[in-house]
Amino acid sequence: MDTETTVSELTLERVPEVVRLCRRALDLPEDATEAEPLVTTLWVRAEADRTVRAFGAYRDGELIGVLICSLADGDSRTGHVDLVAVEPRRRRQGVGRALLGHAEQALAELGAVEVLLAGNPPHYAWPGVDVRYTPAVCLALALGYTQDRTAWNMTADLSYDGSPALRSTEAAETRLAGQGVTVRRAEPADLPALAAFARTTFGGSWDAELAGSLGRPDAGCHLAERDGDLLGFAAYGSARPSWFGPMGTAPAAEGSGIGGVLLRRCLADQRAAGIEAAQIGWVGPVPFYSRSAGARIERVFFLYRKSLGSA
């Protein structure tokens, strides 16, 4: 580590300073623009549900790098590095290496036996390391991390009225209504039923992500139901205003067109909020999103892991 660089733990009072650093240090405009919700999600909001540690790298009293890490929800043996950002003019000077070393030590002291450079749902900003963040990829490899998965996002273009992502849902909703299906905006009072439906039908952390989409600014959810029974949901803004997801349709309702309606309702909300490109995060069914919204694969992420025994 450069002898002029010191690393210390940060408290929440430093959030505004960290946000300003991330605006300068996140190279991709779509990330820099959302620096404030990113930091808020990964640090302020996540801290209410899991153990989070934040570290700052300093040189001559100036904050030149930041790292946020956490323990996995429900698994204290797994740590996650959620964000690393270094001032562009301070790169290749050992700053990222120093931050990651402190994070590994802190997570080990908390009981973690491995560290992932991968999203830690429900509070995450990326599935992993965007391949365009080349310095981060080089750092991971230099410190002994192994790539074990690849993930991708799809982009839905909301920048013009004729976009396939903004096709009207009116005719489809009329057809569904004839089948007894109601499609509507979800309200906070719907959360218990939505969370139970997501948990029992799909598992994972979607119930918690739904909690982050209902009743919050720049976020929302739409649902489909028949005779009081949920058939599907789609949400957006849980982690970032421009990100869509999660969404799910009951197996018995697949192929009914409900998913496409719920998807485009959410995208219309995001367009109304001024978002010109929605990110469909950590995508599974690529053909569905391509067909329903003209979405294209755009962001690709490498997910890394490292056993702390090999540190």
Give the model confidence (pLDDT) of 74-103 as tens digits.
888 999 999 999 999 998 889 999 999 999
pLDDT digits (tens, 9 = 90+) for 34-76: 999 999 999 999 999 999 999 999 998 899 999 999 999 888 8
Is beta strand 129-130 parallel, antiparallel or unpaired with respect to 114-117?
unpaired
Quote the distance between the C-alpha of residue 92 and its chain's center.
Answer: 27
Query: With contact defined as beta carbons under 8 Å apart, do 210 and 198 qualify?
Result: yes
The per-residue pLDDT string of the chain (311 residues; one tens digit each, 9 = 90 and over) reads 445 889 999 999 999 999 999 999 999 999 999 999 999 999 999 999 999 999 999 998 899 999 999 999 888 899 999 999 999 999 888 999 999 999 999 999 999 999 999 999 999 999 999 999 999 999 999 999 999 999 999 999 999 999 999 999 999 999 999 999 999 999 999 999 999 999 999 988 899 999 999 999 999 999 999 999 999 999 999 999 999 999 999 998 888 999 999 999 999 999 999 999 999 999 988 999 999 999 999 999 999 999 997 44
Q: Any idea how long the chain is?
A: 311
User: Percent of the chain scored above 90 by pLDDT?
Assistant: 90
The SS3 call for residue 186 is coil
Spatial separation of the C-alpha atoms in residues 185 and 190, rounded to whole Å: 10
